[in-house]
Chains A and B, each alone.
Chain A
């Protein structure tokens, strides 16, 4: 682990140039540019909020915040992993000709998505204020699930980008997987509909749900989750990261034959 961090430091400048490149490419000819990454989730939020409040008649208090917290985490995970998945293949030209550690491309894609996350988070807090929810010192704890989410995303990214090198159809499978994940995570519906059933327990296998629930707990209920939950979340993400690193290390040398 330490040697990876050391190498990252060595390649810091390359890394920042790669992130710059991805960022510029994205917004090169768009009129709204970087504003778009803030407006897109906003529109999604407003549409879904309208649909579920007016059309389906959800009567939850602070529904918009409830929904936003879910979308914030889920969209980040989906975007970061999808972009990260193709990171090796799309940089094949560089990888086959220049000695640069391959995971650098994955991390730069995740970094770009993380920057978007931070911007969206800012808007999230704006909405929290507008919805007249009090800001407490506990909000600082939101950094915790955010950090775990980042670790989880890097792990998932390592696994996906490696698989994608060998099996291109992984992208379709992953598409379906994220769709199922979206429905299995209480983003737009009330988590309490599962109360008392087995499903409620199964939800705890879903790391995204854990992060979302954490944020909702802090923001909407002002309650700090239990210590055990803190440990559980951390170990879950570290576990996924470990698997990702193992897969990457094991099959790393073979990438060149397939790209």
Chain B
């Protein structure tokens, strides 16, 4: 139910971010190249069935976050297409969508809205969300005052209370203290057992081995392999050792 067909993503590099209008025109007239391209993803094709838990592994810069962005619909691929059936809840960065100045309560509603929940839904689940994130008593505290662990707990709590058809997690299961990690893994299993298709990026190999039904290994934007969890994890660890 997730089909990724021949997806490539080209990033535009160069100092374009700091370019002023004047410089832009000067360079254009001189015909100097303004931008360089970087192929972050190189012809990626894979399919995931409903209810699978795909783990994406690879060294830093291999394109893991990029493929997640493409899957979440945030970044359109330069070539190829992505087909996903159902609602998607992406958690790509734990403090994304939260506003530092607003209180925890206000943030729950704002972030919830950004995740696509309705006001009614958030109000109903509000108590549970607060309890799961262990933040009762902190509801009127400004978000920026929370510790990073608390922020992560809140973000995870919020996103796990929806039951999306597809859940996308970017290295977010490795946060919090051991107690919370156990809780979140358990919650993940609940979601997983209820049929939520999940895509998970992680560097914690033990997690990948334990939880994932399938693994995709990316290196330098290219697919190194897709398939059996144990096999690919072993290959990947071998590769990392030789580096």
Contacts and interface: CB of A to CB of B under 8 A. Distances in A.
Q: Answer yes or no: do A and B interact.
A: yes
Interface of A: 13-14, 17-18, 20-21, 24-25, 28, 93-100, 166-170, 173, 253-254, 256-258
B118 A256 contact: no
Identify whether the interface residues of A are mostly helix, strand, loop, or mixed.
Answer: helix
B75 A256 contact: yes
Contact of B97 (A97, A166, A256): A97
A94 B97 contact: yes
Contacts of B97: 93-94, 97-98
A175 B23 CA distance: 20
Contacts of A14: 113-114, 116
Contacts of A13: 113, 118-119
A248 to B, nearest CB: 15
Contact of A258 (B17, B76, B113): B17
27 contacts: A13-B118, A17-B110, A20-B110, A21-B102, A21-B110, A24-B102, A24-B106, A25-B101, A93-B97, A94-B97, A94-B114, A95-B74, A96-B69, A97-B74, A98-B74, A98-B96, A98-B114, A99-B74, A99-B88, A169-B20, A169-B21, A253-B76, A254-B12, A256-B74, A256-B75, A258-B12, A258-B16
B115 A98 contact: yes
Interface residues of B, number: 34
Nearest to A29: B101
Contacts of A166: 16, 19
B93 A97 contact: yes
Given A21-B110, A98-B90, A99-B90, 8 more contacts: A14-B116, A25-B101, A96-B74, A97-B74, A167-B21, A168-B18, A256-B74, A258-B17
A17 to B, nearest CB: 4
Interface of B: 11-12, 16-22, 24, 69, 72-76, 88, 90, 92-93, 96-97, 99, 101-102, 106, 109-110, 113-116, 118-119
B241 to A, nearest CB: 33
B113 A17 contact: yes
Contacts of B96: 93-94, 96-98
A102 B99 CA distance: 17
Contacts of B101: 24-25, 28
A192 B98 CA distance: 52
B67 to A, nearest CB: 14
Nearest to A259: B17
A187 to B, nearest CB: 28
**6 closest Cβ pairs, A-B complex:** A97-B96, A14-B113, A17-B113, A169-B20, A257-B12, A99-B73
